[in-house]
A and B are shown apart, each in its own frame.
Chain A
């Protein structure tokens, strides 16, 4: 599903240029669950952003579903993104002014799903995430675990082929964290590809494969399953 070859990304400030990704190459197959680990600043979040088509590499090749996407325009990238990719963030990133229901509904609005169908699908996914009873609440009225379940619900409501999770349990206690990991496992078992960035060895163990990074390069790769 994902083929990355010699990917490079630099960050420039006025004085220094830092290498975030240094000739990185690897691939992710459809239905895989890959965890990416490494110390802060090793480039793992940059990688996730590039895979998520939020960011552009400086050089190298990025094939998504057999298509070279590294040179895509902003508009094409967002088209590809909204139909194929769902995001789960460490800090949940829900829109404060929208209710649970409305937050989850948002991706469906952007893909042009009809209102009746939207309602059905949002309710379905809220049911699955066991957050239906909170559908009319605003994010601030929920616990962290509940907020992350809403974020996961929002990421999957469009039935994306790929979910990108950036430290999904980072802001949660272990009970809530485990619940979120269970949700991700369920999704993966249902066929969704998952790429997750994490600091937590515990969480990484849920994956099929762990890629460890340092200074923008892949150092090791452990296959768990």
Chain B
């Protein structure tokens, strides 16, 4: 029986090549898009699943309130560790203190390479189930030990056995390689942990870290934990939530709350709003999940429409089969197996499309998705996917076709009823509603990105580079280097900063100033900068001046941005003093004198207002970056070559590296741009699939009305009149879809824009553009068939009687 069904199905496919092509290619594209999205979602959801202790690992976070705003951060103070170990140790299998994962130079022989690594406590090995492939099981026991990831060991030692070898950290500390662990694969936190060194080394290394031991206010560290199997994240959080408040009365005013962020949330739910978890990438997972479902539905709608439109052709067969004794259920099964066959063919094609486009897709989505050939879950999902698609696409046609009355069909009086085209029309409207909503959505996302890119940055980011100078060798060389670089002709000005130009690494509080409101808890972005800071960045002074070598007193000067002046409520700021609130101490820090106010410039998110910021004169060698304003009269490559030569001459042991500030700034848009380009592709696919269906329907209608067109032509209708006649119905459907789709899209995109403080409006031009685009594309699609039918010779169509 099944053989008979498939035979008929195949012969029908071959006989109606255009329909088969539209059906199969439409479904294949839809299925490929859905499969890619499926792989992407799977990849997102499997983030961190590599870790055996996935369910019990957490990071310690804290909420702190400032003037009613609660901020959430993974930065915690050192004494928290001791408090947890002392009072709550029975909840944890491991508590692992850790530094930030930072780039460090590791030197062996002639090789001096930059690697990302952290200082961590020994528990990390068991917590992350690090697989030791060479050396000691616990490589963090000794103070001067270092554990290397496999790839790091390979880069430094090649084929040599690294165990027992001595490396130089930052060209100064000698560390012995104790073990090598297997690389942590992509798509996991810690995948960039290229080496681990002992925490106990870190805490003896610099004064400020040593001193942080009992400073509850110094949130500069992180802690990972693994909880015991017999407890839950919530239970542990409830126990530790007030630990900081209780132990540190000074910090209690910030209402610090300590809580666990489970590993499963790190990647997908990493956004906190006012101390409450409020989403993150999970929103994209939903977004693309919905888009994927829609694209598949669009393709299924094509199938449904074309099958039911062509039903008259299949009606005779239904009538004959019924008169021979077929049950309706057998016919339903026949048509379902037919759609199953088509879906199966489409899947094979989709499979090929996915294989071919996976690289490009990975590029676009910044992913390393590998086709899961050996994952049995994938194959089960694929089989389910085929069945679901076949049922989705095939159910309605099967029910519809099998319902025909054999009497009417066999007498030849069968004509699809007046309302039989209605479901088809509704489905076309649904298709175009989705397509139009996607078009509008994509335009709004692109507009928002463009709008934020067009926002004045407040400084000149072109031909500005930043050179990281965190290595100890740079210490005390900034004035000398500035002279050398300017003399070389490649640089016109240079300033140092303690944070990169495009980020804030330090936020400070604990100041006092004239007119400070009672109980005001300030939170200021803090950057230490050198003399020519204003000139180098090209900042706009509103009041006062930049730091100057002519004023010896500038070693205790400070520049504020506009927002900080308003935020701190300082009138006539120039000359006013800002004191550290420890001024009652026997040895107080000297007060800072405001010498200038600069126009706000964007440092962090281009979607948010600029944060209140203070720029203090760097009197203590706090520099992390040299900012170099390159000579505009020379080419960038010449400048870079010269600059590199100057650095090599002065610091032969430090590899030269730099970043273009405008590129770093551009990176802030990357996440949204990624969403935009994915959305754009799926929108194009959706439109393509919808138009494919429209094309098929149009050709069917043209075919069905051939005789009518012939008669009209004989009676004197012009090609134009016929074209309008045939196109009108379709365009009406598209316009209905516009009316439905536009408000939906408006609502959804307004919601989306809410997450940006600095956001574009959704102007009427967006709708005008989407609407005219949709009408134009559908008109082109329909017109081909309409004009073809209208220009055919009526003699041929009328003779076919």
Contacts and interface: CB of A to CB of B under 8 A. Distances in A.
A124 interface: no
Main secondary structure of the interface of B (DSSP, over half): helix
B4 A93 contact: no
Given A109-B1, A110-B330, A78 B325 contact: yes
A45 B411 contact: yes
Interface in B321-336: 321-330
B479 interface: no
A98 B411 contact: no
A54 B1 CA distance: 23
Interface string B771-794: 000000000000000000000000
Interface string A75-117: 1001101110001010101110110001000110111000000
Given A89-B410, A95-B8, A98-B8, A110 B328 contact: no
Contact of B322 (A78, A89, A109): A78
B325 A110 contact: yes
A97 B325 contact: no
Contacts of B15: 97
Contacts of B329: 75
B667 interface: no
Main secondary structure of the interface of A (DSSP, over half): helix
B7 interface: yes
Given A97-B11, A98-B7, A98-B8, A78 B412 contact: no
A106 B323 contact: no
A106 B321 contact: yes
Contact of A81 (B12, B325, B328, B407): B325
Contact of B412 (A79, A91, A95): A91
Contact of A93 (B316, B326, B327): B316
Nearest to B15: A97
B117 interface: no
B229 interface: no
Given A97-B12, A110-B330, A54 B322 contact: yes
Contacts of B397: none
Contacts of B407: 49, 54-55
B421 interface: no
B410 A93 contact: yes
Contact of B325 (A82, A91, A93): A82
Interface in B266-321: 316-317, 319-321
B763 to A, nearest CB: 50
B460 to A, nearest CB: 73
Interface residues of A, number: 27
A54 B323 contact: yes
B211 to A, nearest CB: 87
A127 interface: no
Given A83-B325, A111-B325, A106 B4 contact: yes
Contacts of B320: 93-95, 106
A110 B7 contact: no
B11 A106 contact: no
A74 interface: yes
A52 interface: yes
Given A97-B11, A97-B12, A98-B7, A74 B328 contact: yes
Contacts of B327: 74-75, 78
B30 interface: no
A18 to B, nearest CB: 14
B406 interface: yes
Contacts of B406: 54
Interface in B4-47: 4, 7-8, 11-12, 15
Nearest to A48: B407
Given A95-B316, A95-B317, A110-B330, A102 B325 contact: no
B131 to A, nearest CB: 58
B326 A110 contact: yes
A45 B317 CA distance: 20
Nearest to B11: A97
16 contacts: A54-B323, A54-B407, A78-B325, A81-B323, A82-B326, A89-B410, A91-B412, A93-B410, A94-B320, A95-B316, A97-B15, A97-B317, A98-B11, A102-B4, A107-B324, A110-B321
- A-B CB proximity, top 5 nearest: A82-B325, A97-B11, A107-B324, A81-B325, A110-B325
Interface of B: 1, 4, 7-8, 11-12, 15, 316-317, 319-330, 406-407, 410-412
